[in-house]
């Protein structure tokens, strides 16, 4: 059973997602980068679960997938409202709450 290789791959995938979240200005692209991060976490959970021969990791990964689906639904609704109100989904331009 490979373990360290899976952990390294998940770490790199997580950091690519972090870079995407930090640099992208398109709201939809930020959501896609968050999906990369969640997938990295899922890889880790299942790798540890298989290494310890424990199905709990897979159950947790299932919960993460469900929460990711909910997150993307609400996130895309927010993007939709943003576009309807401002004609743009550039999230750097949304700074009305800045004091």
Partner 1 sequence: METTAVEYVVFALCAVIVLAGAFGVIWFRNPVQAALSLVATLFGVAVLFLNMNAQFLAAVQVIVYTGAIVVLILFVIMLLGVDVEEDLEEEPLVGQRVIALVIAAGVAGLVVAGVTLGGADLVSGARSVTGSIVDDVSNIEQIGRLLFTEYVFALEITAVLLTIAVIAAVVMSRRPSEVEPLPAENASMEPPEPMEPEAEEVFD
Site of interaction with partner 1 (CB under 8 A): 1-9, 11-20, 22-26, 28-29, 31-33, 35-36, 39, 42-43, 46-56, 58-59, 61-63, 65-74, 76-81, 83-84, 89, 92
| Sign of the four-CA dihedral 26, 75, 98, 15 | negative
C-beta of 24 vs 97, nearer to partner 1: 24
CB of 3 to partner 1, least distance (A): 7
CB of 27 to partner 1, least distance (A): 9
Q: How far apart are CA 37 and CA 32, in angstroms?
A: 9
Q: How far apart are CA 58 and CA 47, in angstroms?
A: 9
């Amino acid at each position: 059973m490979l373990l360290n290789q899976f952990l390294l791959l998940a770490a790199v995938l997580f950091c690519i997602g972090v870079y995407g979240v930090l640099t992208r200005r398109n709201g939809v692209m930020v959501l896609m980068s968050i999906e990369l991060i969640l997938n990295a976490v899922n890889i880790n959970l299942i790798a540890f679960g298989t290494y310890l021969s424990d199905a709990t990791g897979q159950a947790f990964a299932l919960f993460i997938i469900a929460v990711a689906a909910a997150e993307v639904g609400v996130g895309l609704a927010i993007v939709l409202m943003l576009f309807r109100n401002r004609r743009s989904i550039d999230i750097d331009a949304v700074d009305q709450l800045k004091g």
